[in-house]
Structures are given as C-alpha cells and as structure tokens.
Amino acid sequence: MTTREIAGKTVDFDEQGFMSNPTQWDKTVAEALADEIGIDLTERHWQVIEFCRSDYQSQGDAPTMRRITQQAGVPTKELYQLFPKGPAKKVAYVAGLKKPSGCI
Amino acid sequence: MFDQNEDRKLCIICSKGTLDMAYPGLVLANAALMEGIDVTIFFTFWGLDIINKRKMNHLKFVPIGNPSMPIPNAIGGLPGMTNVATAVMKHEIAKLDFPEVGEFLEIIHDSGGKMYACKMSVDMFHDMHMMNEEDIYEGVEAVVGATDFMEMSNGAQIIFI
C-alpha cells in the first residue's frame, strides 16, 4: 500500500499500483493518471471510464474487456486504440478501480 | 507498471482440434494481447479445425480416454456421449462469459494478434478432402511453412498446445 499526491489530492494505491479507494477518485485524478501513462482523455475514453465505474459499483469487480466491448458499445479494435497495449488494465487504472481479475 | 511487456513476444502453436485443446491457446493469446504482448499463433495439424470456418464453432470435447473425467470410459464411449459432453462444456464456457471459437478469433484478430496456418497441414488436409484454403478464417494472415514460423518466432517465448 502506498500513498501518492495526485492532482493535489492524497490517493491510496494497492501493492499492484491500482487505486485502492475508489471514493478518492474524481475527474482530475483520472486525467492525471491517464497523463502518467501517456493517454489524453477524449469523449470516447470517458464513455469507457464511466461504464467501468458504474459496472464496478454493481458487480464489485473491474469489468473484463468482453464486458466493456459488449456493454459500453466500444469495439475491441477501438478499445486497443484508446488504451493501447493492455486496455482492460489501463482503463481500470484511470478509472480508479482495482486490477481486473477476469481472464477475458 | 504498464511497460514491462514492451518487448515481449509470444508464439503459440495450436496443434489440436478438440474443444478443450482449442480454448487454452485462445485464452492465452488473448490474455497476452491484453497485457500488451506481441502474439503470433501458428495453427498446425488438427489445430487447423480451430480456424476452419466450417468446423470452428462445432469443435467437440471427447470424454473417452480422459482419466480426469468423472465417468468410466465404458460410459464415455457410448453413442452420443461426445455430443453430451461437448454441450455441457460449451454451456460452462458460455456461463463464464467466454465467446465461441469464431468470435474469439475475431477478438484476437481485432486485438492485433497475428494468425498463420501451417502449409504442410493445409496441403495434407486438402489432399485428404478435409479442408480447402477457402475454409480458412479470413483473419488468418497467411499459410506459411515451418521455416517461416522459425523466422517469425525469433526471440519469442513459445507455447505448444
């Protein structure tokens, strides 16, 4: 468990480097986290991030890629363009969620 | 934390065409792509069934000769048991929200995975009237020889299934 200063706020991270307290998340934190991994957030990114956050609230786990493509209406190819090389993990990271545990 | 796989390359050889031997390769390929790893899959021998459009969504799980199955071979070998076991496994796979083989290949293709068919096996299956080149899923890049595979897999980690 580590604590870092992100966008002027104190944010807790778990041992895998993902935010451990989703309530510390807000849009400025998301922008700062995205910037850290070289992503400029667009409308489309936000659509995915917001889906993931609401899905996390109802399911208790960060959604799998398959869930995102099927339910957020963003196809696989585009998801890899938005969050290159590791979309499910990168979305979860930016959305302030734990690392997804699904295999797909 | 997201760049540890920057230069990692994985080659998976799929040589079997049963349902239970198709999924491990596809799951691993997709997982590797999700981790940012460069993925190449080489389909050879019975593994060609996985990329055969006529067969890909009808792969079977055979319960006979499998000591892990909770039923004796004498029962597993009864007529219709393969279909029953296949239906059960497909149901379980769907329950876990994994796609059918055809859709899985599409996901892998759209995720940037490269797929190749083995030339020797394609020629042989063609000769045995088991498959034509037109049967191969469009997402497959090319039919290539074993020496091409050696070039492609240079520096890669290789998994044989």
Query: Domain spans of chain A?
Result: 2-94
DSSP letters along chain A, please?
Answer: -EEEEETTEEEEE-TTSSBS-GGG--HHHHHHHHHHTT----HHHHHHHHHHHHHHHHHSSPPPHHHHHHHS---HHHHHHHS-S-HHHHHHHHTT-PPP----
Residue B81 in domain: no
Q: From the CA of A80, how many Å to the nearest CA of chain B?
A: 7
Q: What is the pLDDT of residue A51?
A: 93
Q: What is the per-residue pLDDT across B94-107, written as a single tens digit (0 to 9) for each?
A: 999 899 999 999 99
Residue B145 in domain: yes
B123: CATH: 3.40.1260.10
Catalytic residue among A15, A23, A38, A103: A103
Total structural domains in chain B?
A: 1
Residue B38 in domain: yes
pLDDT, mean over chain B:
93
Residue B119 in domain: yes
Residue B15 in domain: yes
Q: Is A52 a known active-site residue? A: no
pLDDT above 70 covers a percentage of chain B that reads 100
- pLDDT score of B4 more than 90: no
Residue B122 in domain: yes
Q: What is the pLDDT of residue A1?
A: 80
Q: What is the pLDDT of residue B1?
A: 75
Tell me if chain A has a CB within 8 Å of the CB of B31: yes
Size of interface A-B (CB pairs under 8 A): 47
Q: What is the pLDDT of residue A22?
A: 83
Assembly ipTM: 0.88
- pLDDT score of B6 more than 90: no
Tell me if chain A has a CB within 8 Å of the CB of B73: no
CB spacing of B1 vs A17 below 8 angstroms: yes
- Structure confidence at residue A29 as a pLDDT band (50, 70, 90): very high
Residue B140 in domain: yes
- Structure confidence at residue A62 as a pLDDT band (50, 70, 90): confident
- pLDDT score of A28 more than 90: yes
Cα–Cα distance for residue pair A27/A13, rounded to 1 Å: 17
Q: What is the per-residue pLDDT across B33-44, written as a single tens digit (0 to 9) for each?
A: 999 999 999 999
Work out the average pLDDT over A88-96: 92
Q: What is the per-residue pLDDT across B74-88, written as a single tens digit (0 to 9) for each?
A: 888 899 999 999 999
A6 within 8 A of A33, measured Cβ to Cβ: yes
Chain B residues closer than 8 Å to A93 by CB: 2
Q: Which of A39, A67, A82, A85 to substitute to test the interface with B, most B CBs within 10 Å?
A: A85
Residue B64 in domain: no
Residue B140 belongs to domain spanning:
9-59+101-160
